[in-house]
A = this chain, B = another copy of it.
């Protein structure tokens, strides 16, 4: 058994004079005497003061940035600035050396782009310790939120044969030999001989299976990886990302909006309470980053003010139709500053429009509802009344400042005849989704759900600006490193 004291515990301790054992990685070593040591348990380092007169020179010269050491000594009240305690070491042992010339993480500021290249080591920086601490807190808060409300955490399948939802391009999953695949009589690749006896792919959403759970267990949520094989190299898209998808039986669009708003506020509040130091650090990081930007592009609120603002205000709820009216009359539309001008009902909203509504017009999170059926998915519930003679659906998207869409959901179409008619209309094969339709055949009921892109939430709460910096090992076109 390895006995050690965690840095996070020592930093809170007042047991001065006690002998302690710390282990961690050297961040800096100053004046042959002061080690800033970090073991991951805290954003802050602990200062270890080396008795350099009684420490062998060959040890001293191995106390380099990145080295792992073990130090035994007394916990004492610190006289220096910036820390309350320090360890006055009697012995220092090198656990693992670090060649100062070759170690990629020098004690200086590195760009996020550079750190992305060494994602296996970036966990050792203060920024990424903070980011992954917040990510961890948000994940736990999500589980706790749903657990307190009696939801079942349901693991929907990752490999599916369902290619019917049309939510995006998919990755094939196969064990067939590319060089010599089995072929059928017509010479086509015979996926009946593939591992699962059919053509399979990575899931784009657990929603359809989640609905099966909700229509029996009442309330479920998923929290798992989803995939898009889209060739988009942006700061907002990943090929592999994590989604949270609750589904609730006996719920309508309003229940759905309430659940989503409650959930977002709950998890942001949890992060504020449990990651105070980390958010304070990230606030400073963002302010630094924004110094290089023109005033107009800087946020009016700092990171923590922005999070508090989300908690303290009701999200604005308006229909798509109302939003189009606001956008049509808006300055950037009148002055033709939008790249895509809004001139008629039915247009799909672009990021610039969403940001205008959230950041300029309402200055708070906005829930848009009742979108045109044309631009939404087949499973969304058709509204009873037409708008401008066109069909709308009980959809809702939640738009956040700086992020755009963070949640997308809807009441689901529970009426078998309507659902089938819509599937026929847009060519979705009903036989492949017989199991989905069965929930409408046997004991159908109103129900609703939504999807939350987890990395977008982490992006929002941490104030990071590139989605590749909020997941440990990002997957995007031409990149599957580590």
User: Chain A interface (Cβ within 8 Å of chain B)?
Assistant: 1-2, 4, 6, 8, 23-26, 39-41, 66-68, 95-99, 102-105, 120-121, 123-124, 129, 132-133, 135-136, 139-140, 143, 147, 150-162, 169, 171-176, 178-179, 181, 188-189, 195-198, 200, 202, 209, 212-219, 224-225, 227, 229, 231, 239-240, 242, 249-252, 254-255, 258, 414, 435-436, 438-446, 471-473, 475, 477-482
When distances are taken between beta carbons in the complex, the residues of chain B under 8 Å from A8 are 150
**Bound Cα distance A162, B481 (Å):** 8
- Copies of this chain in the oligomer: 2
In the complex, the answer to whether A240 meets B96 with C-beta atoms within 8 Å is: no
The chain B residue with its CB closest to the CB of A197 is: B478
Complex interface: chain B residues within 8 A of A171 (CB): 159, 173-175, 195
* Contacting residues, chain B, for A103 (C-beta < 8 A): 442
Q: Are A95 and B446 in contact (CB under 8 A)?
A: yes
User: 9 A-B pairs, CB-CB below 8 angstroms?
Assistant: A26-B443, A95-B443, A96-B443, A132-B217, A154-B472, A159-B227, A178-B189, A195-B229, A198-B480
Partner of A173, one of B40, B99, B173, B216: B173
- Partner of A174 from the list B150, B174, B441 (CB cut-off 8 Å) is B174
- The 6 A-B residue pairs with the shortest CB-CB distance, nearest first, are A96-B444, A40-B218, A123-B216, A197-B478, A196-B480, A40-B217
Given contacts A1-B254, A41-B219, A196-B477, 4 further A-B contacts (CB under 8 A): A6-B150, A95-B444, A198-B480, A224-B225
Question: B68 contacts A157, CB within 8 Å?
Answer: no
B156 x A473 contact (CB < 8 A): yes
B residues less than 8 Å from A478 (CB atoms): 195-197
Q: Are B174 and A475 in contact (CB under 8 A)?
A: no
Bound Cα distance from A245 to B139, whole angstroms: 16
Interchain CB contact under 8 A, A209 and B473? yes
